[in-house]
Structure 1
Amino acid sequence: MACAGSAVLEGDAAAFAAAVRSLINNPQFSDVTFVVGRERQEVFAHRCILACRCQAFQGMLSQPQAGAQEPWPPQTPLVLSHVQPEVFLAVLEFLYTNSVTLNSLIALEVLTSAVEYGLDDLRKLCIDFLTGALSVELVCEVLQAAVTYGQTDLQEHCLVFVEDRTQAVLERPVAEVAAGPVRELRLPLLSPQELAALETNNQRDPLIPVESIAEAWKCHVLRKGSGAPPRLCQRRRGTQPREHHSYLE
């Protein structure tokens, strides 16, 4: 307990932040190593920071290695082959500094990792960035990610983005103009529960052709990807493999 008359005095926050930032991917005093991506790049980190900032990493580092009784030993690297190194480094930047450097090439993947690791503040930062960075080239991928991960606000923003440009430039119905991008939505990658929710929403606000939804259901029923064009059964950049994807590959 604090004594009577005590006060909390703060030093230079910028200097502290810079010092902590210098620890990102710094092998000096690191006590955990990750092997990341297909490139198998080594990334260095510190257990105490990971554990206190992220419950997913706390659990990961607390679990014993197969056949052992003790928590994951420092000399044994953790392999994360499905994450790009630059994406994982962005996640580490957030864990160490509570800020993140994003660009349009990695923002979707960082959003995916934020959802996977339960980092809600990072998820919000990614959504803020993607909302401001939407472009005609990016909107389809962002819309799919929003649907996949149940980010309804981002999904709505994508639809409004399409609608605004439709009305301002083409003056044609949204469903007509969006038909091309909508046909590229990879609906077979959704889980049956997600697909059912999408179908219900589509009944209220028809945008996706019923034939596309039927093709996705066919894939789930037949347990193979023959119910839809092959390109719709391949994961886009930023879409992590899920259990029900195994029969599509």
Structure 2
Amino acid sequence: MAYAGSAVLEGDAAAFAAAVRSLINNPQFSDVTFVVGRERQEVFAHRCILACRCQAFQGMFSQPQPDAQEPWAPQAPLVLSHVQPEVFLAVLEFLYTNSVTLNSFMALEVLTSAVEYGLDDLRKAAVTYRQTDLQEHCLVFVEDRTREVVQTRSFHELSAAALVAVLRSDRLAIDEPDLIQAVREWAHVSSAVLERPVAEVAAGPVRELRLPLLSPRELAALESHNQRDPLIPVECIAEAWKCHALRKGSGAPSRLCQRRRGTQPREHHGYLE
């Protein structure tokens, strides 16, 4: 409550920020310890700061501790094996100081953690940070680890536009039948989330699948599967069959006849090129 004649006096903002920053990963007065990453690095923090800045941590710390004598008693270390130490430290930096130091090598992982912890401002910062570089870094990450990436929750949560950008890459390290199955799984997840038909949510991405790369046997199996679980437009499958019938790539757009880095060789690939 402000009284007549009162005034707000502000101290040195830089000194205050530096004092709070000094608490990041500082064991002094820390009351929670995290064991982070495969390296099992210890990271020290303060529950009051994390809880007031992040609802995810507030919920975590509100859970009763069986061995604790009082609510704020020190607890056993919390293991976070799925996140890299430098990424978690970046999250802490943001929670303590409302700013974060990013580079292109960790921006994607910070973005993932920001989504996981519900930190919308940090998510926006990670996306905004040299957005073109971030997109390129994300794509390189997917290209280098395609088989692992398509099995993750993050892949299933991609937007249709983002998935189209990924599927246009020639450097995906995965064979086309496996990629088609990954897109099918993505489509079913998106269909459930958006409450729209599978074929509708997948309309854009499926047109980036390179069906002419499939052998006749694989294409026939795909066509049979597609009758039970409609995903791919009939005309796309027809274009692929046309390539086989004509023994050349003129039955489909040229980009769909281009082998990816992970494409396994098939007898007919020679006449697609």
TM-score (norm. length: structure 2) = 0.47
Q: Could you list the per-position Cα deviations for residues 18-74 of structure 1 after superposition, in whole angstroms to 9, with x for gaps in the alignment?
A: 010000000001111111111111000001100111011011011123687965741
1:146–1:152 CA contact under 8 A, matched in 2 = no
Offset of 1:75 from its aligned partner? Answer: 3.4
Residue 147 of structure 1 and its aligned partner are, at CA, apart by 13
Greater CA deviation, 200-209 or 84-93? 200-209
Which of 1 and 2 has greater Rg?
2
Q: 1:190 to 1:175 in 2, by over 3 A?
A: same
| CA shift digits 1:198-233 (9 cap, x unpaired) | 999999999999999999999999999999999999
Change over 3 Å in CA distance of 1:110–1:31 after alignment to 2:
same
Q: Partner of 2:44: helix, strand, or coil?
A: strand
SS at match of 1:82: coil
Greater Cα offset, 236-245 or 31-40: 236-245
Question: How much does 1:240 deviate?
Answer: 28
Matches of 2:219 and 2:120 in 1, distance apart? 24
Change (3 A) 1:93 1:176: same
What root-mean-square deviation, in Å, do the aligned CA atoms of Structure 1 and Structure 2 show? 14.7
The Cα of 1:3 is off from its aligned counterpart by: 1.8
Q: Count how many residue pairs are aligned between Structure 1 and Structure 2.
A: 229
Change (3 A) 1:148 1:198: farther
For 1:88, the equivalent position in structure 2 comes to 88
Describe the shift of the 1:11–1:218 C-alpha distance in structure 2 as closer, same or farther (beyond 3 A).
Answer: farther
Consecutive unaligned residues in structure 2, runs of 5 or more: 147-190
Shift of 1:10: 0.7
TM-score, scaled relative to structure 1? 0.51
Q: Given that residues 109 and 238 in structure 1 are in contact (C-alpha distance below 8 angstroms), is that contact kept between their aligned partners in structure 2? A: no
Structure 1: runs of 5+ lacking an equivalent: 125-144
Q: Any runs of at least 4 consecutive aligned residues in structure 1 with deviations exceeding 3 A, and if so which?
A: 65-73, 145-249
* Local SS of the residue matching 1:100: coil
8 A contact 1:63–1:72 mirrored in 2: no
- Alignment deviations for residues 69-106 of structure 1 (CA, whole Å, 9 cap, x no partner): 96574131111110110000000000000110111111
Distance 1:109 1:210, change over 3 A: farther
SS of residue in 1 equivalent to 2:18? helix
Q: Structure 1 residues 149, 118: CA separation in 2 closer, same or farther (over 3 Å shift)?
A: farther
Structure 1 residues 96 and 235, CA gap change in structure 2 (3 angstroms): farther
CA contact (8 A) 1:162 1:178 kept: no
